[in-house]
């Protein structure tokens, strides 16, 4: 198995301003792709296009060689996107949050699976605390628990290091590289400098 | 067909073709409206029941027709914009909304003025007037929604969705308001629906309706052209054209 | 994070079923969230009672007069109460980012948003319909119309929730969408109001109400078919604004 995400002559215009133009990208399994550029250069917009949220672009997008518009469902089934906001409901506990996400993906999952995933991100002991009582960094960790809980080939992560402490950052970075090495693929924007590794690639905007 | 749609979608092409069409519609509008007004006000016979006050029909009915047609055209333009991403369609929809709202207002106002000699009051909850009032609120909603977004792309799409939702609802609203009215005011006197109007009365009305439509088309073309210049002001062909002028 | 570095090799998966699971989970999640904040569920009901209290004070305590206008008052007040909680339908999901995730689920967004609308109706429209007869007593509503009042409100408020959700989805990306939302959806509420209040008036007059209820049912069926698509399209617009 291998995955491939290609963009040909990708361009995005928002309110008559070109965020980027003529972008050719070819992303394969085994890569950690860091999207770089100054503020306002369209990093988040590009991630939204790469995660199938924005269809208002010029150019062509291919998933495993087929036009994205035709295989969108297959693409979404293999995508895990974590956006700016962690997507954690403050009224639910960490466990409840995770089980909704599993159900959304069509999996029932098991309690022990979820407990393991939470322990992995350092939230053992916080499983049944309403997320409203947890910190921003802990919210981010709940979201990151989905990386292990719902195995997906393509990860698209928008600033995943936000609000996470130093140990967490190192572990997450290792997790990204490990995911790429095991045949997955990561597309990420971050202000954090990623340690160089053979898997790391950069796309510079602006 | 496809080539034509795509051509029509190019603002530059549309700007050129509409420049050639616009004067014709202005001429048609002026001729029809002047003829209709003179005929309707001076030559058409007075109504046996309402006397001369019925002549306000020559403004009221065309305005009401237009108010409804503009909403439908606006929704169609919105749909075209959403499906084929044709920007000119959105520009047209943008300029149509205030025009439609003002036509609705004209028809409401003329209806109110007509009400004074007919009913002895400025306002009656007449089925037609009530539907018009609701239509005015629908227009105001579309205009307000478009104005509420900071990003114009989002504003255009949101306004298009609302216009389409509105146009699906207009027949339902109209039907239910008619039903409501007959229930509460059985067989009272409705201002515009009347048995067989004589030819010399409805001919000027038809001419006025056509005149109002020509006026709407001419005005929409003109305002769409302005909108094109405004939105495409950073494009080369627009700058060239401005230099020429 | 004590992450095991030997990550499981991810395999490409085929899109599966799981729509029922996703729908029930979303229903359950929203119900749990709302029931944990009971105040928000109760507020529209209190508002309903309060508005109904204002009318006799503002108009007249005369039971004959009140009985005459009660169907319309009850319907208008219930409609406004249902409108009140509409703004929060997608707002918190938008703010915390779970709306984005809902959009990216490999399930049809129209179906998922329908689950959210269903919760709104269960916790707003239905309680309002159940409470209306009690307020009807206070407005001297003639006997024999109480059941019709509750049934018409239950049916009609479902349509109101569906139409209102389109407006909520269109305005969720705007910082202050509340007033605008009312402006957008109130004109669209008018047919439901006409046939809802009409049903109660017909019941008072002793006429058959089946035609009114059938039309309310037809409006609901049409809204069920069309509104989810409009809601989904509007959510996509709002999330990318």
Note the pLDDT tens digit of each residue in B124-139: 888 888 999 999 999 9
Asked if residue C202 is part of any domain, the answer here is: yes
Domain co-membership, A104 together with A19: no
Asked if residue C124 is part of any domain, the answer here is: yes
pTM of the model: 0.91
Q: What is the pLDDT of residues B105-163, one digit of tens each?
A: 999 999 999 888 888 888 888 888 899 999 999 999 999 999 999 888 899 999 999 99
Asked if residue C103 is part of any domain, the answer here is: yes
Domain holding A141, by residue range, is 88-151
Of C3, C5, C100, the CB nearest to A83: C100
B85: contact with A, CB 8 A cutoff: yes
DSSP state of A31: E
Domain count, chain C: 1
Which residues does A176 contact at the CB level (< 8 Å), separation at least 6? A32, A155, A157, A186, A188, A194
Whole-number average pLDDT of chain C? 91
C95 contacts in chain A (CB < 8 Å): 85
Domain co-membership, A47 together with A135: no
Query: Nearest C-alpha of chain B: how many angstroms from A15?
Result: 6
Domain definitions of chain B by residue range: 56-190+197-235
User: Is C180–B161 a contact, with Cβ atoms under 8 angstroms apart?
Assistant: no
Asked if residue A83 is part of any domain, the answer here is: no
**Residue A168: pLDDT over 50:** yes
Instruction: Report DSSP letters for B20-54, one per residue.
Output: HHHHHHHHHHHHHHHHHHHIIIIISPPBTTTBGGG
Of B85, B153, B232, the CB nearest to A15: B153
How far is residue A175's CA from residue A193's CA, in Å, rounded to a whole number? 15
Asked if residue A24 is part of any domain, the answer here is: yes
Query: Nearest C-alpha of chain B: how many angstroms from A54?
Result: 12
Which pLDDT does position B196 carry in this prediction?
62
Which pLDDT does position B1 carry in this prediction?
58
Domain co-membership, A4 together with A59: yes
**Residue A95: pLDDT over 80:** yes
Compare A103 and A193 and report the one with higher pLDDT: A103
Which regions of chain C are under pLDDT 50?
Answer: 1-6
Domain holding C109, by residue range, is 37-239
- Residues B54-75 have a mean pLDDT of 93
Among C183, C209, C234, pick the best mutation site for testing chain B contact (most B Cβ within 10 A): C183
User: Is A77–C15 a contact, with Cβ atoms under 8 angstroms apart?
Assistant: yes
Determine the Cα angle at A148 with ends A144 and A151, to 5°: 120
Domain co-membership, A27 together with A123: no
Domain co-membership, A1 together with A74: yes
Domain co-membership, A96 together with A187: no
The fraction of chain B above a pLDDT of 90, given in percent, is 56
Domain count, chain A: 2
Query: Nearest C-alpha of chain B: how many angstroms from A154?
Result: 28
Domain co-membership, A30 together with A74: yes
Confidence of residue A164 (pLDDT cuts 50, 70, 90): confident
Which pLDDT does position B234 carry in this prediction?
78
Q: Taking Cα atoms as reference points, which of A87, A77, A22, A86 lies closest to residue A52?
A: A77
Confidence of residue B49 (pLDDT cuts 50, 70, 90): confident
The fraction of chain A above a pLDDT of 90, given in percent, is 35
Residue that terminates a domain, selected from A121, A151, A181: A151
Whole-number average pLDDT of chain A? 88
Distances (CA, A) of A6 to A34, A63, A66: 15, 7, 9
- What's the half-sphere exposure (Cβ side, CA atoms, 13 Å) at B167? 19
ipTM of model: 0.90
- Residues B56-76 have a mean pLDDT of 94
Q: What is the pLDDT of residues C134-189, one digit of tens each?
A: 999 999 999 889 999 999 999 999 999 999 999 999 999 998 878 899 999 999 99
C3 contacts in chain A (CB < 8 Å): 120-121, 148, 171-172, 174-175, 178
Domain co-membership, A104 together with A144: yes
Confidence of residue B187 (pLDDT cuts 50, 70, 90): very low
Of B85, B151, B232, the CB nearest to A15: B151
B153: contact with A, CB 8 A cutoff: yes
Asked if residue C74 is part of any domain, the answer here is: yes
């Amino acid at each position: 198995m291998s995955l491939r995400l290609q963009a040909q002559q990708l361009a995005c215009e928002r309110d008559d301003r070109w965020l980027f133009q003529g972008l050719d990208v070819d992303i394969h399994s085994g890569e950690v792709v860091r999207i770089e550029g100054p503020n306002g250069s369209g990093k988040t917009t590009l991630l939204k296009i790469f995660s199938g949220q924005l269809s208002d672009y010029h150019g062509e997008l291919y998933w495993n060689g087929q036009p994205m518009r035709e295989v969108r469902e297959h693409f979404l089934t293999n995508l895990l996107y974590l956006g700016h906001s962690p997507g954690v409901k403050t009224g639910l506990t960490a466990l409840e949050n995770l089980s909704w996400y599993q159900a959304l993906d069509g999996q029932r999952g098991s309690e022990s699976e979820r407990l393991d995933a939470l322990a992995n991100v350092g939230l053992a002991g916080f499983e049944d605390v309403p997320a409203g009582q947890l910190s921003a960094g802990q919210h981010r960790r709940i979201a990151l628990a989905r990386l292990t809980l719902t195995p997906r080939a393509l990860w698209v992560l928008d600033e995943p290091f936000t609000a996470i402490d130093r140990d967490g950052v190192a572990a997450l970075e290792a997790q990204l590289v490990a995911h790429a090495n095991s045949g997955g693929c990561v597309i990420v924007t971050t202000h954090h400098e990623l340690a160089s590794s053979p898997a790391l690639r950069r796309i510079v905007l602006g | 067909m496809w080539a034509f749609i795509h051509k029509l979608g190019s603002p530059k092409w549309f700007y050129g073709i509409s420049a050639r069409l616009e004067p014709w519609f202005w001429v048609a509008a002026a001729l029809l409206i002047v003829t209709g007004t003179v005929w309707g006000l001076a030559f058409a016979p007075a109504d046996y029941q309402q006397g001369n006050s019925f002549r306000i029909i020559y403004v009221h009915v065309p305005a009401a027709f237009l108010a409804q047609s503009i909403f439908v055209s606006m929704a169609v333009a919105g749909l075209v914009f959403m499906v084929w991403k044709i920007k000119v369609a959105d520009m047209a929809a943008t300029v149509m909304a205030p025009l439609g709202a003002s036509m609705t207002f004209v028809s409401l106002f003329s209806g109110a003025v007509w009400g004074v000699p007919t009913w002895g009051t400025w306002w009656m909850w007449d089925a037609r007037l009530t539907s018009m009032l609701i239509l005015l609120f629908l227009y105001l909603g579309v205009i307000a929604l478009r104005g509420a977004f900071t990003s114009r792309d989002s504003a255009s799409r949101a306004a298009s969705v609302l216009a389409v939702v509105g146009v699906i609802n207009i027949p339902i609203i109209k039907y239910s308001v008619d039903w409501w009215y007959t229930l509460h005011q059985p067989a009272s006197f409705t201002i515009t629906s009347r048995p067989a109007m004589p030819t010399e009365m409805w001919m000027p009305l038809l001419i006025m309706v056509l005149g109002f439509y020509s006026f709407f088309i001419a005005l929409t073309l003109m305002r769409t052209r302005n909108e094109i210049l405004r939105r495409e002001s950073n494009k080369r062909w627009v700058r060239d054209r401005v230099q020429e002028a | 994070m004590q992450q095991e570095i030997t990550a499981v090799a991810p395999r490409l998966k085929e899109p599966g079923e799981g729509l029922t699971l996703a729908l029930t989970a979303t229903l359950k999640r929203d119900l749990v969230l709302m029931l944990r904040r009971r105040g928000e569920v109760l507020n529209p009901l209190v508002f309903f009672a309060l508005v109904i209290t204002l009318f006799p004070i503002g108009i007249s305590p005369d039971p004959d007069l009140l009985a005459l206008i009660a169907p319309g008052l009850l319907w208008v007040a219930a409609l406004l109460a249902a409108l009140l909680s509409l703004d929060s339908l997608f707002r918190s999901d938008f703010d915390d980012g779970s709306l984005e995730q809902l959009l990216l689920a490999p399930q049809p967004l129209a179906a998922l948003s329908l689950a959210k609308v269903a919760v709104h109706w269960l916790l707003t429209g239905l309680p309002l319909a159940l409470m209306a007869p009690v307020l009807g007593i206070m407005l001297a509503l003639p006997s024999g119309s109480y059941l019709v009042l509750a049934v018409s409100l239950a049916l009609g408020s479902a349509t109101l929730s569906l139409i209102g959700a389109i407006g909520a989805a269109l305005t969720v990306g705007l910082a202050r969408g509340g007033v605008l939302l009312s402006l957008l959806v109130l004109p669209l509420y008018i047919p439901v109001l006409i046939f809802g209040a009409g049903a109660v008036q017909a019941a008072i007059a002793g006429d058959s109400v089946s035609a009114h209820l059938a039309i309310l049912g037809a409006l609901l069926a049409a809204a069920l078919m069309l509104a989810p698509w409009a809601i989904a399209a509007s959510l996509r617009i709002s999330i990318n604004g």
